[in-house]
Amino acid sequence: MKPYFVRPLKQGEKYKLDVKLNSGVLLNDFVFQEEREREKVSMYTIDPRKTSHLPNVGGSFEQILKTLPGVSSNNELSAQYNVRGGNFDENLVYVNDIEIYRPFLPRSGQQEGLSFIHSELVQSVKFSAGGFEARYGDKMSSVLDIKYKDPKKFASSLNVGLLGAQTHVEGASKNLRFTYLLGARYWTNKYVVGTLDTKGDYQPSFTDLQTLLTYHLSDKLSVSVLGSYAQNRYFLQPQDRETTFGTVKQVMQLKVYFDGADLMEYRTATGAATVVYKPSNKTQLKFLTSAFYSNENEYFTIEGAYRLSEIETNQGSGNFGKAKSLRGIGYFINDARNTIQAYVFNAGHRGYHSSGKNNFQWGAFIQNEIIYDSQKEWNYRDSAGYSQLGLNSNEDFALPYYLKTKLSINSVRINGYIQNSQTLSKNYNAILTYGLRSNWWSFNSENVISPRIQFSFEPNRLINRNIAAQKLDKKLRKDWVIKAAYGWYYQPPFYRELRNFDGVLNQNIKAQLAIHYVIGADMNFKAWGRPFKFVSEAYYKQLENIIPYEIDNVRIRYFAENTASGSVKGVDFRVNGEFVKGTESWASLSFMDAKEIITNQKDVAGNPETPRYIPRPTNQFMQFAITFQDYLANNPSNKVYLTLVYGSGLPFGPPDRDRYNDVQTMPSYKRVDIGFGKDLIREDEKERNTFFKRHIKMCNLSLEVFNLLGVNNTISYTWLDDANGQRWAVPNYLTSRRLNLRLLMRF
């Protein structure tokens, strides 16, 4: 039976069809053809439902981003990620056009808890690794654009495992005027952090509640409220630590015995209200207001005694594997009482208007930031005479490190943008998007202007149409899209960039700048009769007015001065598609070189360093990742989910505040997670003749193996001096192999 009417629809367009049936009349098929918008430069679209089964040791949605090209993270416990040589603070995150902020104080990935995004509430995900449009904000690296669901009927889910549980409920009124989303999560990483070298009493607890309520007052006017509250607590009473490191010829062992406790707790809340008015199908006006609150406390007093020994490596010796010499002993105390309270209030407007070949967008926002910061930290070291005591100029006793500050900031930002997306040629689907952003900050009275432009076209569009019209072999089609982008991406400091190592705010700080040059292409093709896409991009980022920083685990400490410049260059590749029929898998490969040159840098003795290029702290030459899904051909309900990540080593150095010493290289990051799943109830089952199948839409039970290969990945180093004055970098390892049992149900 042939269709009698074909109506092409653009993505997001609505079409109402009224059909009246007469007795004895046969109605032919009605076919909708959706013309999807091809992804813009560096933009990736992720289907959250296709990734919900993947093993996830951190419990955060952002884990899936780490398998995309240009994205890297050497810490499975953290939701943070680096993009094309940038750090954690250079990434924008939006949920329903509301910017999301992360906490300030966590020092390690296990303290972070859950990220803001509740995966079961997500409708669509767009991620840009660079060259993004002017409508997005002022950060130097990336944008994660999340849209939560707009439910049409009741549904719910439950996801329970050894690491915690999450659930959600969604629904709508009969007339669809009112819709609601409710989500709750509880997570504890006690099970996996138990594999760390430091043994003790771990009591982590992370919970959050979220809701999105929408009321459609009319077809043209709607109001929505987004709310989130999270309470996170990480408590540790360490007991002892044993770490073995070194080379085959020289193996060292560090043993530490602890007393004291470490408490990190923070509460965050986000509230937002949005009013959307659509005077016509071509115009949309959106008014937004939001508030963010964070109350963070970091209290710890840890004392310990350590012993550094060299291990016997001669297999013929009777003491093989035991300590053969003592290289150092010592005692230390680390103490901190740090608190931060942050308030961010935002109000603004976004508009959209379509006119022929042009799609105009504009927006303006005002933001008030109030931050109260209290720091009190000190430490004491006694290496039994192997290192000097802390003495001041009067030879009185002084702590080697002592910091006590109370800071506050109350500032206002005003920013806005205009943007137009123009179709230059329908025959080649040539689209030019150009825009301008402006951002003014009261703290330093600086205003920055950011021009941005993107271009894409399909060189073979006419040829492909002729091939389709003549019903020729589809293999003759060359479905390419060529893309390019250029833009200025200023990043005015938020708060962390203002504060230096001594707890002083720099009143003369300026916005950092990254100028993006991006060119790439993507191709849709078929292999084994199934759809695939290949994406490749080359990029260059020119960095100006950069603020140098050091990273310890996930803690970023800035020098709070615009004393660096540099560059990042690299290439990204990605292929995704149905390697196994009916499942989505992909592989990503990236190569990158990120370097910087610092002026006014002083060494440990206070002498000026000679300016020269050194690797940036996030410089990772190669990143390779695979996400693969498979099932048994004769029993599709039995599935396998695999995630593999390899990242070459990052630069590091001693904690001496001299970036020119950070030129050593960590070991590479290697991790494989695998899950074996069984669909107890399949979502596509038609026969639902039992009570459970009538009420449960889908049920999957999976056994997950985290860190399948048991690799000891290094996240940071502890530095010690031995009796001979030699400094040793003792690696701090990440989690080891663990099993997890997880049950996922959708109702």
For residue 232, is pLDDT > 90? Answer: yes
* Token pair 């309270």 in the structure block, residue: 341
pLDDT value of position 581: 85
- 437-473 pLDDT, tens per residue? 999 999 999 999 999 999 998 887 776 666 665 555 5
- N- to C-terminal Cα separation, the chain: 36
Q: Which two tokens stand for residue 711?
A: 């690799």
Of 32-36, 38-42, 472-476, 564-568, which has the strongest mean pLDDT? Answer: 564-568
Which residues, 6 or more positions from 464, have their beta carbon under 8 angstroms from its beta carbon?
A: 458, 477, 478, 479
Label the pairing between strands 31-35 and 6-10: parallel
- Using the predicted structure, report yes or no on whether residue 129 has a pLDDT greater than 70: yes
Q: Give the residue-averaged pLDDT of 546-566.
A: 94
> Averaged over 181-208, what is the pLDDT?
93
Phi first, then psi, for residue 738 (nearest 5°) are: -150, 150
Average pLDDT across the chain, whole number: 87
The Cα–Cα gap between 159 and 119 comes to 11
Return the domain boundaries, the chain: 6-746
Where is average pLDDT lowest: 100-109, 561-570, 600-609?
Answer: 600-609
Task: Indicate whether 475 pLDDT > 60.
Answer: no
Is the distance from CB of 448 to CB of 463 less than 8 angstroms? no
d(CA 681, CA 700): 7
Cα distance between residue 610 and residue 59, in whole Å: 45
pLDDT-derived band at 395 (thresholds 50, 70, 90) equals: low
CA distances from 41 to 71, 146, 298 (A): 15, 18, 41
Residues in the chain: 747
Is residue 349 predicted with pLDDT exceeding 90?
yes
- Rounded Cα distance between 645 and 74, Å, is 9
Cα separation, 687 vs 694, whole angstroms: 9
Beta strands in 426-562, from DSSP E residues, in sequence order:
430-441, 446-457, 479-491, 512-527, 530-546, 549-552, 555-558
pLDDT of residue 396: 56
- 337 pLDDT above the threshold of 50: yes
The answer, yes or no, to whether residue 42 has pLDDT greater than 90, is no
Beta bridge partners of 626: 587, 644
Residue 40 has pLDDT above 70, yes or no: no
What pLDDT does residue 477 have?
62
List, as one string, the DSSP characters of 379-444.
EEEE-TTSS---B-TT--B--SEEEEEEEEEEEEEEEEEEEEEEEEETTTTEEEEEEEEEEEETTT
- The neighbour count for residue 373, using CB atoms within 10 Å, is 23
User: Tell me, what's the pLDDT at 630?
Assistant: 87
> Quick one: pLDDT at residue 37?
46
Q: Cα dihedral angle (553, 557, 562, 568), rounded to 10 degrees?
A: 0
pLDDT at position 11: 45
Beta bridge partners of 448: 439
506-519 mean pLDDT: 95
Confidence of residue 33 (pLDDT cuts 50, 70, 90): very low
pLDDT confidence of 166, banded at 50, 70, 90? very high
State which CATH number among 2.40.170.20, 3.40.50.2300, 2.40.40.20, 2.40.10.10 fits the domain covering 6-746: 2.40.170.20
468 backbone dihedrals φ, ψ, rounded to 5° = -65, -40
Determine contact, residues 566/549, Cβ cutoff 8 Å.
no
Q: Is the pLDDT of residue 46 over 50?
A: yes
What's residue 148's pLDDT?
A: 94
| Percentage of residues in the chain having pLDDT higher than 70 | 90
pLDDT at residue 177 is higher than 60: yes
Instruction: Quickly state the pLDDT bin for 484 (edges 50, 70, 90).
Output: very high
What residue spans of 28-103 are helical by DSSP H?
A: none
CA-wise closest residue to 157 among 674, 669, 700, 727: 700
Distance of CA 73 to the CA centre of its chain: 9
Q: What is the pLDDT of residues 82-120, one digit of tens each?
A: 999 999 999 999 999 999 998 999 999 899 888 899 989
Task: Say what the pLDDT of residue 25 is.
Answer: 35
Q: Quick one: average pLDDT of 355-361?
A: 90
pLDDT (mean) for 375-403: 68
pLDDT above 90: percentage of residues in the chain: 63
Tokens 């760390």, located at residue: 196
* Pairwise CA distance, residues 72 & 85, whole Å: 9
Q: Give the type of residue at 58.
A: G
Cα 173 to Cα 75: distance, rounded to the nearest angstrom: 43
Regarding predicted confidence, which is higher, 322 or 626? 626
Residue 2 has pLDDT above 50, yes or no: no
More confident residue, 529 or 152: 152
Distance CA 715, CA 557 (A): 16
pLDDT of 680 > 60? The answer is: yes
Strand partners, 7: 32
Which residues, 6+ apart, have CB-to-CB distance to 86 below 8 Å? 140, 141, 142, 514, 568, 618
Chain-centre distance for alpha carbon 393: 47
Inter-residue contact 594 to 618 (CB < 8 Å): yes
- 20 or 677: which carries more pLDDT confidence? 677
Whole-number pLDDT of residue 34: 32
Please give the average per-residue pLDDT across 12-18, as a whole number. Answer: 50
Pick the more confident residue, 734 or 51.
Answer: 734
